[in-house]
């Protein structure tokens, strides 16, 4: 049996809906995965996350490697049991954090050395070690180690880097044991179409279970990134899931689903929630705004989330200003509900072949409340 089944059930333009079959259950696509960096989706219990409609969450190997350690998690029965989330978990390789969070590093053919951002300890990662780490966590969908070159890296550098990425992907596949989950490759190549094509060619020669688009949410200009996604996705094997890492802006989700992306993850909805910025169908609502001080209305009229069904903007603003723990929790529930309902709406629209109309409605709604952060256009 394949470690990851993927069945496409509907198309609407280039958008597609389908179903991932993981060893821990089904995931409807296009899917958004809430981020549970350190073995918890911040502030929520597992049943609250699944109750909002999430079928798969993401765990961060880098963070769990440093604390509490993957051996500890393994000894306690794996990440699912540790955090009591019975559904599928995708883990990243840790590479992204090594290249963005950690200190001094040394990159070579073998792997990468880096210093823990927690205690400065010198650590080493190889394609093999990150597969082993993800297997110890019990990951259902694992990611290969890749380099994440900074935006604006020279073309020549990117060209060499993606060749090594492909060698690392082959080593990762070879290192996977029978108990390992699915393994996804990561297409690199920056904003250069020919480099992306070369990366895909190299990865397609391997027996990977899916493909992620890397380096597209780390600072390149958005219009350029959208072009890259648009030209890359059609060249990927059509029967494998496509995962766009680190993208979660509502308008971006809508547009990228329209380009054929199947999976997303992002800290945006949960991080914004903790900062008091709430997502609505008419754009963002900043709870700090004093005009909400006495506002008895819910965050969004008609919203069916557990927060909007019972609490006023005034109460939520009070909790935020008072830095109350319940603030982060109630806001996170709303934002995850918003994003997960958006994905459900997209899936339904694709099934009914009206993605284009639905997407236009959503995007117009998002623009009604004034300036939004620049979204992919």
Interacting residues with its own copies (CB under 8 A): 38-40, 42-45, 63, 67-68, 72, 75-77, 82-84, 293-294, 296, 310-312, 314-315, 317-319, 321-322, 324-326, 328-329
Short-list 259, 254, 246, CA closest to 216:
246
In terms of CB distance, is 40 or 235 closer to its own copies? 40
The least CB distance from residue 329 to its own copies, in Å, is 7
Residue 232 burial class via C-beta count within 10 angstroms: exposed 0-12, middle 13-18, buried 19 and up: buried
The least CB distance from residue 144 to its own copies, in Å, is 26
In terms of CB distance, is 256 or 273 closer to its own copies? 273
Active site residue 265: yes
Could you say which of 140, 209, 252, 265 is catalytic? 265
The least CB distance from residue 322 to its own copies, in Å, is 5
Instruction: Find out whether 147 and 165 touch, Cβ atoms under 8 Å.
Output: yes
The least CB distance from residue 181 to its own copies, in Å, is 21
Could you say which of 92, 146, 209, 252 is catalytic? 92
In terms of CB distance, is 39 or 210 closer to its own copies? 39
The least CB distance from residue 115 to its own copies, in Å, is 19
Interatomic CA distance for residues 58 and 80, integer angstroms: 11
Instruction: Find out whether 58 and 35 touch, Cβ atoms under 8 Å.
Output: yes
Interatomic CA distance for residues 173 and 170, integer angstroms: 5
In terms of CB distance, is 64 or 253 closer to its own copies? 64
Tell me the two tokens of residue 248.
Answer: 């979660």
In terms of CB distance, is 235 or 275 closer to its own copies? 275
Q: Please give the C-alpha separations between residue 63 and each of 45, 92, 103, 199, 333, in angstroms, as whole numbers.
A: 19, 10, 14, 28, 23
Active site residue 92: yes
In terms of CB distance, is 7 or 84 closer to its own copies? 84
Question: Which distant-in-sequence residues (6+ apart) come within 8 Å of 8 by Cβ?
Answer: 16, 17, 18, 239
The least CB distance from residue 307 to its own copies, in Å, is 10
First-residue to last-residue Cα distance in the chain: 40
* DSSP state letters, 175-244: H--TT--EEEEEE--TT-HHHHHHHHHHHHTS--SEEEE-SSSSSS-HHHHHHHHHHHGGGS-TTS-EEE
Instruction: Indicate which residues carry an active-site annotation.
Output: 92, 265
């Amino acid at each position: 049996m394949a470690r990851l089944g993927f069945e496409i059930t509907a198309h609407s333009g280039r958008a597609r809906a389908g179903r991932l079959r993981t060893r821990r259950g089904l995931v409807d696509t296009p899917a958004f995965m809430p981020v549970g960096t350190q073995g918890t989706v911040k502030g929520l219990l597992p049943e609250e996350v699944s109750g909002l409609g999430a079928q798969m969450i993401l765990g961060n190997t880098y963070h769990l490697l440093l604390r509490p350690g993957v051996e500890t998690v393994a000894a306690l029965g794996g990440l699912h049991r540790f955090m009591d989330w019975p559904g599928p978990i995708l883990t990243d390789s840790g590479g992204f954090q090594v290249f963005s969070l950690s200190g001094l590093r040394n990159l070579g053919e073998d792997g990468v050395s880096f210093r823990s951002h927690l205690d400065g300890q010198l650590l080493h990662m190889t394609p093999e070690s990150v597969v082993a780490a993800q297997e110890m966590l019990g990951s259902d969908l694992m990611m290969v180690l890749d380099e994440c070159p900074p935006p604006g890296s020279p073309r020549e550098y990117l060209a060499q880097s993606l060749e090594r990425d492909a060698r690392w992907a082959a080593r990762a596949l070879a290192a996977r044991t029978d108990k390992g989950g699915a393994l996804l490759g990561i297409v690199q190549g920056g904003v250069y179409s020919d480099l992306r094509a070369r990366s895909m060619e190299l990865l397609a020669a391997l027996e990977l279970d899916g493909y992620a688009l890397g380096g597209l949410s780390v600072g390149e200009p958005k219009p350029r990134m959208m072009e890259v996604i648009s030209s890359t996705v059609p060249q990927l094997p059509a029967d494998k899931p496509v995962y766009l890492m680190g993208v979660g802006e509502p308008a971006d989700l809508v547009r990228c689903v329209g380009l054929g992306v199947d999976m997303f993850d992002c800290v945006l909805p949960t991080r914004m929630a903790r900062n008091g910025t709430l997502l609505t169908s008419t754009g963002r609502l900043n709870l700090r705004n004093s005009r909400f001080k006495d506002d008895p209305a819910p965050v969004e009229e008609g919203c069916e989330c557990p927060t909007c069904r019972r609490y006023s903007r005034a109460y939520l603003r009070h909790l935020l200003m008072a830095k109350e723990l319940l603030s982060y929790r109630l806001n996170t529930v709303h934002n995850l509900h918003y994003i997960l309902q958006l994905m459900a709406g997209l899936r339904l629209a694709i099934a009914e072949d009206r993605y284009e109309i639905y997407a236009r409605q959503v995007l117009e709604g998002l623009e009604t409340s004034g300036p939004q952060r620049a979204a992919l256009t």
